[in-house]
Amino acid sequence: MGHHHQHHKEKPEEAGKVRMRLKVAFALNFFFTIIEFIGGAITNSMAILSDAVHDLGDTVAIGSALWLEKVAEKGSDNRYTYGYRRFSTLGALLTSLILFAGSIIILKEAIPRLLQPQEVMAKGMMWMAVLGIVFNGLAVWRLRGGNASLNNRAVMLHLMEDVLGWVAVLIGSIVIFYTEWFWIDPLLSIGVAIYILYHVFGNVRKILDVFLQTTPSDLDVVGMEQELVALDGVHEVHDTHSWSLDGNYNVLSIHVVVDKDASVSTQQGIRGRADEIIRTYGIDHATVAIEFTGEACHNCRKIKG
């Protein structure tokens, strides 16, 4: 049995810069989340409170990403033989649960207000919206640059969505200020909550795929097997298994059958070419087991040449 194992690691100085950018974004988001809850209570605005819940989820996400940037540097050990990558998926699940619970609470409070609108401080909403655009905009700007990690990029995109959400609140507060259409506030709140729930369900589906070790959705298993079985000296391939550790780092194991009298150099050549093909399909860690014709394989899905 042989295997190809490929690591993708950041340089220490770049990893340090990523963590520093995340620390600044975390501080900005955490501080502003507190302001949002206070501002939402003062202005009596459900739209601001719903964004506060959203930003609370963002704060947890950034905190998890910050911690996981450090944890990800740890290699495998006897307990976690594939390393600590799946902890990021656990963090994503925690964030999703917080956002789900918060969104349900917001909907519970906002729907009655839509039927019986309550007066809100439109001018206060405007100032909160401006602060939201500034704080989230600063966080996005701080996360830009360098060879950002997947965690870093995901958080940055999430904060960019927050900026757009605050733009919507700003426009809504201006309309309320001039028209006194107070129903716009709970309507904005419901819109934000539904938007959050939509993404939460999508994220949970991806998280479950990782925990249940389903085949990565972008992996063409059939195409890969056909390329492998077309190699000179390969009779068939079988027992293909592929899964993802965190939604990005993909793992695969496969059995390749060759002539029973194939020389060591022939086996090494086949294994090397197989590794090259497998890498082109986005596999980060591949285990290629060489078997010989005549060996039994029970309950295997065989692809013959």
**Percent of the chain at pLDDT exceeding 90:** 28
Q: Over the chain, what is the mean pLDDT?
A: 82
Q: What is the tens place of the pLDDT at every residue in 107-135?
A: 888 888 888 888 888 888 899 889 888 88
Rounded distance between C-alpha atoms, residue 277 and residue 225, angstroms: 10
Confidence of residue 10 (pLDDT cuts 50, 70, 90): very low
Note whether 228 and 204 are same-domain residues.
no
Q: Please give the pLDDT value at position 2.
A: 43
Note whether 133 and 232 are same-domain residues.
no
More confident site: 273 or 77: 273
Confidence of residue 289 (pLDDT cuts 50, 70, 90): very high
Q: What is the mean pLDDT of residues 166-193?
A: 88
Q: Please give the pLDDT value at position 298.
A: 64
Q: Please give the pLDDT value at position 270.
A: 94
Phi, psi of 174 (to 5 degrees): -65, -45
Q: What is the tens place of the pLDDT at every residue in 237-253?
A: 999 999 998 887 899 99
CATH code of the domain in which 237 resides: 3.30.70.1350
Note whether 35 and 133 are same-domain residues.
yes
Note whether 186 and 45 are same-domain residues.
yes
Note whether 166 and 240 are same-domain residues.
no
Q: CA quadruple 274, 5, 86, 147: dihedral positive or negative? A: negative
**Any domain includes 73:** yes
Q: Angle at CA 206, nearest 5°, toward 201 and 209?
A: 125
Task: Give every strand in the sheet of 234-244, ordered side by side.
Answer: 2-5, 285-292, 250-258, 234-244, 303-304
Note whether 71 and 148 are same-domain residues.
yes
Confidence of residue 5 (pLDDT cuts 50, 70, 90): very low
Note whether 12 and 142 are same-domain residues.
yes
- pLDDT reading at 260 higher than 70: yes
**Any domain includes 35:** yes
**Any domain includes 2:** no
**Any domain includes 3:** no
DSSP string, 47-96: HHHHHHHHHHHHHHHHHHHHHHHHHTTS---SS-TT-STHHHHHHHHHHH
Note whether 119 and 147 are same-domain residues.
yes
In terms of residue numbers, what domain contains 48? Answer: 8-211
- pLDDT reading at 223 higher than 90: yes
Count of domains observed in the chain: 2
Q: What is the mean pLDDT of residues 57-82?
A: 76
Note whether 207 and 225 are same-domain residues.
no
